[in-house]
A and B are shown apart, each in its own frame.
Chain A
Amino acid sequence: MKLYLAALMVLVLAGCGEVSQSKQGSAVNRGDEPSYKGASTAQVAKGWTPGDKASWDKQVRERGQLQNEYVKTNR
């Protein structure tokens, strides 16, 4: 009887588990060229080296700070 109850509990508890339905791992950057590789246009901003990931990161962070008026104006 105890064995049956234990088996039943296992079955019942199994229903409490949740399988992740989000799609994450396989959907990362499928075949797209990364941004840090640069673009073949004349509009590429100066001050960074296309193909250099660290350089692109630095460029994006510095450019992001241009949106910060507190570093541009007197406070």
Chain B
Amino acid sequence: MARMKFICDTERCIECNACATACKNEHEVPWGVNRRRVVTINDGIIGQEKSVSVACMHCSDAPCMAVCPVDCFYRTEEGVVLHNKDACIGCGYCSYACPFGAPQFPSNGTFGLRGKMDKCTFCAGGPEENGSQAEFEKYGRNRLAEGKLPACAEMCSTKALLGGDGDVVADIFRTRVVTRGKGSEVWGWGTAYGKPEAKS
């Protein structure tokens, strides 16, 4: 059985925000809610700027699941952490517990300023009939049930963001890292203009 995971390659992410846009479009996520976003550190510092696309990491021992007072979280067979919006009371505990800032709260929800929690579903919908209108309205598209992978990863132009079966994405990432080397070999002078020993 597949165990779903995301990996983001910081050497490749170009902060284009296409993953965040794809997510918003695919699930019709409302204003103010960002299931996925791109975080950049050392912005503007040449050679040190790194970007990473962050969303729910579908933790194996999820802190959100541990702290939820109404026990609305569950894990699918594929290891995707989902929640039941019918049970959620919008308390925000999951938001405090999550190290990635994944839980989001719409500002026009059932409870006024802080509505029911919304987060990345790994494009796996929620506890409604797969592909139903009710599922789409509450949780967005269920691409996994359509035999697809998360939209953010599938449409990443540089393939910085990988998503899918943990074994598969780990193999892809490992091959990539071994092939490209490290340090200046990755995207440096040697890659662009040839290595010094290749001259002459």
Instruction: Please report A residues at the B interface, Cβ cutoff 8 Å.
Output: 21-24, 27-41, 43-45, 47-48, 50, 53, 56-57, 59-61, 63-70, 75
Main secondary structure of the interface of B (DSSP, over half): mixed
Name which of B34-42, B49-57, B107-115, B171-179 contacts chain A: B171-179
Nearest-neighbour CB distance to chain A for B180, whole angstroms, equals 10
Q: Interface extent on B, as a size class?
A: 35 or more
* CB of B20 within 8 Å of the partner chain: no
Give 18 A-B pairs besides A41-B146, A57-B1 with Cβ atoms closer than 8 angstroms. Answer: A27-B73, A28-B75, A29-B76, A33-B130, A35-B144, A37-B130, A39-B131, A39-B142, A44-B131, A44-B145, A50-B145, A50-B147, A60-B149, A63-B147, A64-B149, A67-B159, A67-B169, A68-B175
Q: Give the residues from 117 to 155 in chain B that come closer than 8 angstroms, CB to CB, to chain A.
A: 124, 126-127, 129-132, 142, 144-149, 153-154
- A41: B residues at CB distance < 8 A: 131, 146
Complex CA distance for A45 and B77, rounded to whole angstroms: 20
Complex CA distance for A65 and B153, rounded to whole angstroms: 12
Q: List 10 A-B contacts (CB under 8 A).
A: A23-B71, A28-B74, A28-B76, A30-B127, A40-B129, A56-B147, A63-B164, A67-B159, A67-B162, A68-B172
Nearest-neighbour CB distance to chain A for B176, whole angstroms, equals 7
* CB of B15 within 8 Å of the partner chain: no
* CB of B16 within 8 Å of the partner chain: no
Q: Which residue of the partner chain, among A23, A31, A60, A63, contacts B65 with CB atoms under 8 Å?
A: A23
- A67: B residues at CB distance < 8 A: 149, 153-154, 156, 159, 162-164, 169, 172
Complex CA distance for A67 and B173, rounded to whole angstroms: 10
Taking a contact as CB atoms under 8 Å apart, the answer to whether B132 and A40 are in contact is yes
* CB of B197 within 8 Å of the partner chain: no
Taking a contact as CB atoms under 8 Å apart, the answer to whether B147 and A44 are in contact is yes
- A37: B residues at CB distance < 8 A: 130, 145
- A40: B residues at CB distance < 8 A: 129-132
Taking a contact as CB atoms under 8 Å apart, the answer to whether B66 and A48 are in contact is no
Complex CA distance for A60 and B80, rounded to whole angstroms: 14
Complex CA distance for A9 and B115, rounded to whole angstroms: 51
- B168: A residues at CB distance < 8 A: 61, 64-65
Complex CA distance for A27 and B154, rounded to whole angstroms: 29
Closest 4 CB pairs of A and B: A39-B131, A64-B164, A45-B147, A39-B145
